[in-house]
């Protein structure tokens, strides 16, 4: 079972050899509908700290798809691109994003480390990417929901806002595992707990259906992967800015 999960995770991550035509095309096509980077819930702590201290410390608690392999992979993955985008848009605000990937772990298995990171690093914002491994392992959706509640409470107890980030979209993934119950529960919990949900799945599906990215292939070029991560980072920055009602320089 563990071997199967590892193979599937590897297959779903956007990695591989670079293809120049994909990179060129993706560079100019990653617009996101406004409703996918806005939320009825607010990042009040982010707004308060940025206004008073002119700084924003973020911890990303992710899984395998929050990273990229190869030379320069760390700087090209979406957490790093999020930092770049926020620095560009916030100007004189000191933005720092720390990312820790916890590969092959369910939400329940991530909670303890999320709580530790929130307590030790004292970020203003925690971004929690989860759901895919739970779907792969067939974790009871109710247990998944309980873990989400525990993680949210841990971040808030440490004084941080939290954003939930759902699985990435892959047409091939939909034929192998059912992520819908877990995404539905993430949305439900975000509404019940008044926290922001970044719908990465819907955003990537929009790009795929609009023809901005070809996500149907059995393997993807590293160039394409870097462009998708850059676009995710920029869209996530827009979500943070909108939810915190922060003014930008451009």
Q: Is a pLDDT exceeding 50 seen at residue 95?
A: yes
Q: In degrees, to the nearest 5, what angle opens at C-alpha 80 toward C-alphas 20 and 209?
A: 50
Burial 11-29 (b: 16+ CB within 10 A, else e): ebbbbbeebeebbebbeee
Q: Is a pLDDT exceeding 50 seen at residue 98?
A: yes
Report, as an integer, the average pLDDT of 229-248.
96
Report, as an integer, the average pLDDT of 62-75.
73
* Model confidence band, residue 65 (pLDDT cutoffs 50, 70, 90): confident
Q: Supply the pTM of this predicted model.
A: 0.87
Report, as an integer, the average pLDDT of 219-243.
88
Q: Is a pLDDT exceeding 70 seen at residue 152?
A: yes
Return the structure tokens found at 143.
Answer: 């247990």
Residue-wise DSSP of 25-51: HHTT-----GGGG--SS--HHHHHHHH
The fold for domain 34-244 equals Rossmann fold (3.40.50)
Q: Is a pLDDT exceeding 90 seen at residue 1?
A: no
Q: Is a pLDDT exceeding 70 seen at residue 44?
A: yes
Domain parsing of the chain, residue ranges: 34-244
* Model confidence band, residue 213 (pLDDT cutoffs 50, 70, 90): confident
Distance separating alpha carbons of residues 145 and 159, to the nearest angstrom: 21
Lowest mean pLDDT among 23-32, 56-65, 216-225: 23-32
For the chain, strand residue ranges (E) read 55-62, 94-101, 125-129, 161-165, 196-198
- Cβ contacts of 50-54, under 8 Å, gap ≥ 24: 50/90, 50/93, 50/124, 50/244, 50/246, 54/92, 54/93, 54/94
CB neighbourhood size of 209 (10 A)? 11
φ/ψ of residue 64, rounded to 5: -60, -35
Lowest mean pLDDT among 50-64, 67-81, 133-147, 233-247: 67-81
């Amino acid at each position: 079972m563990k071997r199967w999960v590892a193979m599937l995770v590897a297959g779903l991550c956007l990695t591989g050899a670079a293809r120049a035509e994909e990179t060129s095309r993706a560079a100019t096509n990653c617009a996101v509908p406004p409703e996918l980077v806005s939320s009825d819930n607010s990042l009040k702590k982010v707004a308060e700290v940025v206004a008073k201290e002119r700084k924003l410390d973020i911890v990303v608690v992710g899984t395998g798809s929050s990273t990229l392999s190869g030379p320069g992979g760390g700087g090209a993955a979406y957490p790093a691109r999020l930092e770049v985008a926020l620095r560009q848009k916030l100007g004189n605000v000191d933005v720092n994003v720390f990312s820790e990937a916890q590969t092959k772990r369910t939400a329940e298995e991530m909670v303890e480390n999320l709580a530790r990171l929130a307590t030790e690093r004292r970020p203003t914002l925690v971004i929690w990417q989860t759901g895919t491994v739970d779907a792969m392992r067939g974790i009871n959706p109710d247990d998944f929901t309980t873990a989400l509640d525990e993680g949210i409470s841990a971040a808030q107890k440490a004084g941080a806002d939290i954003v939930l980030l759902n699985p990435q979209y892959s047409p091939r993934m939909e034929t192998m595992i059912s992520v819908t119950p877990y995404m539905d529960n993430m949305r439900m919990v975000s509404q019940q707990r008044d926290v922001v949900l970044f719908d990465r799945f819907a955003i990537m599906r929009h790009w795929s259906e609009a023809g901005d990215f070809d996500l149907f292939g059995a393997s993807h070029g590293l160039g394409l992967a870097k462009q998708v991560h850059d676009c995710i980072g920029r869209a996530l920055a827009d979500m943070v800015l909108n939810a915190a009602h922060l003014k930008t320089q451009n």
